[in-house]
Structure 1
Amino acid sequence: MADAGIPLPFVDVRTPAVSAGEPTPAVLIHGWASGSVYWEPLANKLLDAGRTVWILDLPGYHTGDDLPPDFEWTLDSAAASVAAALDARAGGPVHVVGHSMGGSVSLTLAAARPDVVATITLVGMAPVPQNQGFKKVLTSQLDQGFFDSATKTKLMNAWYGELSAADMERLSTGFDAPFPVLSASAVAAMTGVEPSVPGRVHAPLLVIAGTGDRVRPIEQMRVFVAESQQRQLRAIPGAGHNVHWEQPEKCAAALIGFWETSRPPPA
């Protein structure tokens, strides 16, 4: 899947002070206009539970990233980038956790490279038609050639609800990525996975959804999960789109319970 022209993502490897004895790392893949900072609460809960955590910054999202001039940002190329990082570091299948657009990258990865995925968890995401209001807002910004401050605030409020000024500043740093990266990954987020992808994913799959998600309504998640016995849903009452930020303890408990009771299908 990967080749020499695929840039490796930045990987922040974190190991627990006391290991739970489970060597399989959890690989956290962020969504559109996001980054590693919003994984911090969940990562800390997983580390406290003795789990190794890898936090990835997708191509172009890490400060100082210099992408090859011919690199085209798509779900396939982003998944190939993640695959290259796993090939270089993992030494075996990993637990992939993708939020929002990162879930689309994760599904694409699991379909193309089942050998590197032990389990897959989609957080605030299911491969269903995109929210039309969200698409309209993004399209308007792509047409004008930049993301204005009013739109950033509108999107952040939809994703997180009310935030303090400090958290708004901290969590909106994903918008600091270069506009070509933001625009291309926005198109990838809006387009979603190729229709055959979900059916080609055979790893155990968990969807973690906030019941108050305004981007991906939980009813859509339920329909997706019901289509396969290999899929599970964990609904977190009162949480929104960034359930891992809002309810990290419940999210971590759902992940660990899923990992401990799931086994990948035979090769």
Structure 2
Amino acid sequence: MADSVVPLTFVKVLTPVVSAGDGAPAVLIHGWASGSMYWEPLAERLLDAGRDVWIPDLPGYHPGDTLPPGFPWTLDSAAASVAAAIELRSDSPVHLVGHSMGGSVSLTLAAARPELVATLTLVGMAPVPQNQGFKEVLRSQLDQGFFDPETVAKLMNAWYGELPAADMERLSTGFEVPFPVLSASATAAMTGVEPSVPGRVHAPLLVIAGTEDRVRPMEQMRSFVAESPQRALKAIPGAGHNVHWEQPEKCAAALIGFWKTSRPLPA
């Protein structure tokens, strides 16, 4: 993993009133052009179930963040920064949950630092080639140097479907991240993890996917899971790409069941 590490300026630490007794917190890693707020519905259900929840903003994504000159925003550097935040707060492995690009960051972390990860869950993500149309839309915006409102609306619709105006305003603030960070992390998301990464992950792995995901089709999820007996798939009927936002109760139930029954393979 890259030597470049920046301290994460924001990690929301949530503690339940009554603990479920599992000391491992759930660390929720957001995707591209997103942030900690879209985890709120899922975090509430996990807290109700007695689970500790940590929600970091990735490097450069928290309002007011200033990254060091020359900081290379890559999956490696993002994963190393998250790993440093975990080490700072915990002396035992965590339940790592990554959505979309956050899944790529989480896979990279789990492969490089297996001692930090008790389980790994990928939400709306499998390490397979992305939709070509989606990549072309991103490249056109990166080439012009900004994301225009029409494209933002198109992407948000693909991710969430129809949203109330208030939710659209809140959730689209991820596009307000400084363009150099948005651009570099978009490139990281499009490039994806190195081919050797999934095979180096020893933690039990769950994929949670919406059956109506327009970014990552179910066929891709099933093919990835079928490659290893250490991987499992939970399909959420009718949900889209941001399944944790649309169906937080079902996502929480899937996570809690997975955590209760998972045991890692020897490294």
Partner of 1:110: 110
For structure 1, the residue ranges without an aligned partner over 5 or more in a row are none
Partner Cα distance (1:124, 1:231) in 2: 15
CA RMSD of aligned residues (A): 0.9
| 1:260 equivalent in alignment to 2:260 | yes
Partner of 2:194: 194
Q: Aligned-pair distance for 1:90?
A: 1.2
Q: Aligned-pair distance for 1:8?
A: 1.8
Partner of 1:15: 15
Determine helix, strand or coil for the equivalent of 1:163.
Answer: coil
Partner of 2:101: 101
Q: Is the 8 A contact 1:13 1:53 kept in 2?
A: yes
Partner Cα distance (1:139, 1:249) in 2: 35
Partner Cα distance (2:77, 2:134) in 1: 23
Partner of 1:43: 43
Give the aligned residue type for 1:212: E
Q: Is the 8 A contact 1:95 1:118 kept in 2?
A: yes
Give the aligned residue type for 1:156: M
Partner Cα distance (1:23, 1:202) in 2: 20
Q: Aligned-pair distance for 1:2?
A: 6.7
Give the aligned residue type for 1:8: P
Q: Aligned-pair distance for 1:265?
A: 2.4
Q: Is the 8 A contact 2:98 2:121 kept in 1?
A: yes
Q: Is the 8 A contact 2:202 2:266 kept in 1?
A: no
Give the aligned residue type for 1:163: L
Query: Which of 63-72 and 94-103 deviates more?
Result: 63-72
Partner Cα distance (1:51, 1:103) in 2: 20
Partner of 1:6: 5
Partner Cα distance (1:76, 1:160) in 2: 28
Q: Aligned-pair distance for 1:70?
A: 1.7
Task: Give runs of aligned pairs for residues 48-87 of structure 1, distance below 5 A.
Answer: 48-87=48-87
Sequence identity of aligned pairs in percent? 82
Partner Cα distance (1:192, 1:76) in 2: 11
Q: Aligned-pair distance for 1:118?
A: 0.4
Partner Cα distance (1:49, 1:123) in 2: 19
Q: Is the 8 A contact 1:60 1:177 kept in 2?
A: yes
Determine helix, strand or coil for the equivalent of 2:119.
Answer: strand
Q: Aligned-pair distance for 1:87?
A: 1.2
Deviations 1:111-135 (A, max 9, x none): 0000100000000000000110110
For structure 2, the residue ranges without an aligned partner over 5 or more in a row are none
Give aligned pairs, total.
Answer: 266
Partner Cα distance (1:178, 1:140) in 2: 17
Partner Cα distance (2:135, 2:103) in 1: 17
Partner of 1:171: 171
Query: Which of 26-35 and 85-94 deviates more?
Result: 85-94
Determine helix, strand or coil for the equivalent of 1:259.
Answer: helix
* TM-score, normalised by the number of residues in structure 1: 0.98
Q: Is the 8 A contact 1:211 1:218 kept in 2?
A: yes
Please list every run of at least 4 consecutive aligned residues from structure 1 whose deviation after the TM superposition is greater than 4 angstroms: none
Partner of 1:151: 151
- Judged with a 3 Å threshold, the aligned counterparts in structure 2 of structure 1 residues 11 and 28 are, in CA distance, closer, same or farther, namely same
Q: Is the 8 A contact 1:207 1:233 kept in 2?
A: yes
Partner Cα distance (1:166, 1:160) in 2: 13
Q: Is the 8 A contact 1:209 1:241 kept in 2?
A: yes
Determine helix, strand or coil for the equivalent of 1:239.
Answer: coil
Task: Give runs of aligned pairs for residues 118-157 of structure 1, distance below 5 A.
Answer: 118-157=118-157
Q: Aligned-pair distance for 1:266?
A: 3.4
- Judged with a 3 Å threshold, the aligned counterparts in structure 2 of structure 1 residues 2 and 140 are, in CA distance, closer, same or farther, namely closer
Determine helix, strand or coil for the equivalent of 1:54.
Answer: strand
Deviations 1:10-33 (A, max 9, x none): 211000011111110000000000
Determine helix, strand or coil for the equivalent of 1:118.
Answer: strand
Q: Is the 8 A contact 1:2 1:83 kept in 2?
A: no
Q: Is the 8 A contact 1:2 1:84 kept in 2?
A: no
Partner Cα distance (1:264, 1:12) in 2: 27
Give the aligned residue type for 1:136: E
Give the aligned residue type for 2:5: I
